[in-house]
Structure 1
Amino acid sequence: MKKILLIAIAVLSLSSCMIKTEKKARNITVTGTGSIAVENKEATLALSVITRNEDVIKASEENAEKMTAVMKAITEAGVSSDSMNTSDYSIRQEEVDRQFSKKASIQYVVSNRLHINIKDIARTGVIIDAAIKAGANQMDSLSYTTGDTKEAEKQARILAIRDADQKANILVATSGLTLGQVVNIAEREDGYYPVRPTALLKGNGFNTPISAGTTLVQVAIDVTYELQ
């Protein structure tokens, strides 16, 4: 019985020594970023024809006439009919104050919004001018797309890893330590930034200058290294 007790005490003592002498791993985590500019290839334009009249039929007829002219002008400017679609159509009432009358009158406001996919991005300004001249009187939105960004994302990740490695080496350069193996890599979900216009479209005789430029694909990665 005494032998068993002595063995147990010896094991506990050895375990205690091992716990006390165990070294805690030392790590460093840095964030690397990489960016690649990708040329925009297509544009998406949303514009509207808005008409007003105290007679709802007249307001809607005028709107239909103007939108027909707008769609024809856009087609003649080089956009196919399957690249256009009506995204919203509405009729609402609006009160109009009369300067010399105590009673306000009602007029009807008809709005027809057209969505246009422009595959030849260099003609964006031409198409906007054509639509305005034909009767479009409200610009709702203009956005750009780059198409496939997989290759750009791949290159941005490579740059992000290199950036993280450079930062980590600088941080430990004066510490007397050296970088060990990479123990963890995690890409941040918020590392993609798709809008950065930089260039101005010129020429072709149109009056509306449109900045299309490039989209910035950016990746941010957290890298954890061992310290030796």
Structure 2
Amino acid sequence: MTTRLCALTLVSALMAATALAAPVMAQSAPAPHMMQAEPSISLSAYGEVKVAPDMATITFGVVTEAPTAAEAMAQNAARMTQVIAALRRAGISERDIQTSGLNLSAQYDYVQNEPPRLRGYQASNRVTVVINDVNAVGTTADAVVAAGVNQIDGITFGLKNPKAAEDQARRAAVTALQSKASLYADALGVRLGGIRSLNEGGPNMVQPPVFAGNRMAMAADMESTPVAPGELTVRIDITGVYDIVR
């Protein structure tokens, strides 16, 4: 009887202790707390600067055809040698002349209901040339056509050192971004805080398309092929995030 009474007393004590501990554990658990992000505004803007180009890149080629592959390549090599010599006489340095393509392909005649008949071979040698004087583009094109060039792919104008124009476009982009951010803050009835982040999309140079056309015919009909460099548009795109204060 005494042993049973002691056991009951111990069980009661344990249950009471558990009941008392439960509220304490519930009270010690931290209440969830949601962190609210600071209000902000994200915007994008760009800056553009127009500038005259001071260099040009022109790609042209010599295409020859002959009954045999060796003959087509030999004729092509002879004419391209004359073209390179003409470039040197025009003041183009060796480092500004780069071979950009060399191809040889069989040429076939196709007649209905008959197998293709080999006509000969076509060799093509293309060269990309950097011209550091935009006023010499037309005369250089005429010189290489006279030396044997019979294909011109096109002309691209550029800047030798674009950093100054890019930095000017960056300043214009930041000014546009600040102006847009102030306008939005005023429209929302809030106060504009500091800038949280700023990202640049990279410089982009845009120019009007230049089509070479049939430069051989133009060179034959004119004293000098007219080339108008026009203007380049240097553009910088940026995005920024500003803090706003209610």
Give the Cα separation in 1 of the matches to 2:88 and 2:197: 54
Give the Cα separation in 2 of the matches to 1:81 and 1:46: 15
Deviation at 1:39, TM superposition (A): 3.1
Given the alignment of the two structures, is residue 179 of structure 1 paired with residue 192 of structure 2, yes or no? yes
Task: Count how many residue pairs are aligned between Structure 1 and Structure 2.
Answer: 215
SS at match of 2:206: coil
Give the Cα separation in 1 of the matches to 2:64 and 2:198: 57
Say which structure is richer in helix. 2
Q: Which runs of 5+ in 1 are unaligned?
A: 200-204
Which is worse superposed, 79-88 or 143-152? 79-88
TM-score by length of 1: 0.76
Query: Of the candidates 79, 91, 95, which is equivalent to residue 78 of structure 1?
Result: 91
Letter in 2 for 1:208: T
Q: Which runs of 5+ in 2 are unaligned?
A: 1-16, 211-221
| Counterparts in 2 of 1:49 and 1:78: CA distance versus 1, 3 Å | same
Given the alignment of the two structures, is residue 115 of structure 1 paired with residue 128 of structure 2, yes or no? yes
Q: Percent identity?
A: 27
Given the alignment of the two structures, is residue 227 of structure 1 paired with residue 244 of structure 2, yes or no? yes
Give the Cα separation in 2 of the matches to 1:118 and 1:214: 17
Deviations 1:55-99 (A, max 9, x none): 334433332332233223333333234432433333221112479
1:102-181 equivalences in 2 (<5 Å): 104-181=117-194
SS at match of 1:33: strand
| Counterparts in 2 of 1:85 and 1:30: CA distance versus 1, 3 Å | closer
Deviations 1:131-170 (A, max 9, x none): 1122211113432331222232222222212111111121
| Counterparts in 2 of 1:94 and 1:227: CA distance versus 1, 3 Å | same
Q: Indicate the residue corresponding to 2:66 in structure 1.
A: 53
Please list every run of at least 4 consecutive aligned residues from structure 1 whose deviation after the TM superposition is greater than 4 angstroms.
Answer: 8-12
Q: Indicate the residue corresponding to 1:193 in structure 2.
A: 204
SS at match of 2:87: helix
Deviation at 1:103, TM superposition (A): 6.8
Q: Indicate the residue corresponding to 2:57 in structure 1.
A: 44
Give the Cα separation in 2 of the matches to 1:38 and 1:211: 14
TM-score by length of 2: 0.71
Larger of the two Rg values belongs to structure? 2
